[in-house]
Amino acid sequence: MDQDKLSLTFSALGDPTRRAILVRLSMGEASVSELAKPFMKEMSAPAITKHLKVLEKAGLITKSREAQWRQCKINGEPLREVSDWIEHYRVFWEESFDRLDEYLKTMTTKTTKKGKKNVRKK
């Protein structure tokens, strides 16, 4: 995945309103007005439209037009690409933590052995 696309996707996912829109779309297609409804007390219709444009530019949603209705649909491909990118680092950190765990076990064993040498029996 090209870094610019990845940056667009992460930027789009960085906003809680956009994530909420994606959660709603994960349940199925919705019109722009249906997506805007839960946010109308908090923000204007143009603000919702801007959020949808950011999601669309990042490739996270697609919009179709049927008569006067604009249906939005989630596109999972960018999410899969982000997941793949994150997976690489998850594996790296898990392996690093496993090595650290093994090292700490050897240090604990050495410390325990040293402590036993200094203990005198009566």
Per the CB < 8 A criterion, the answer to whether 21 and 35 are in contact is yes
Give the residue extent of every domain in the chain. 3-77
Amino acid at 64: S
Angle formed at CA 54 by CA 4 and CA 78, multiple of 5 degrees: 50
| Eight-class DSSP state of 28 | -
- Over 60: is that where the pLDDT of 88 sits? yes
pLDDT for 105 equals: 84
Mean pLDDT in the chain? 86
- Over 70: is that where the pLDDT of 122 sits? no
Class in CATH terms, 3-77: mainly alpha
pLDDT for 116 equals: 62
Per the CB < 8 A criterion, the answer to whether 40 and 113 are in contact is no
The tens digit of pLDDT for each residue in 9-55 reads: 999 999 999 999 999 999 999 999 999 999 999 999 999 999 999 99
- Over 60: is that where the pLDDT of 62 sits? yes
Tokens of 79: 């999410």
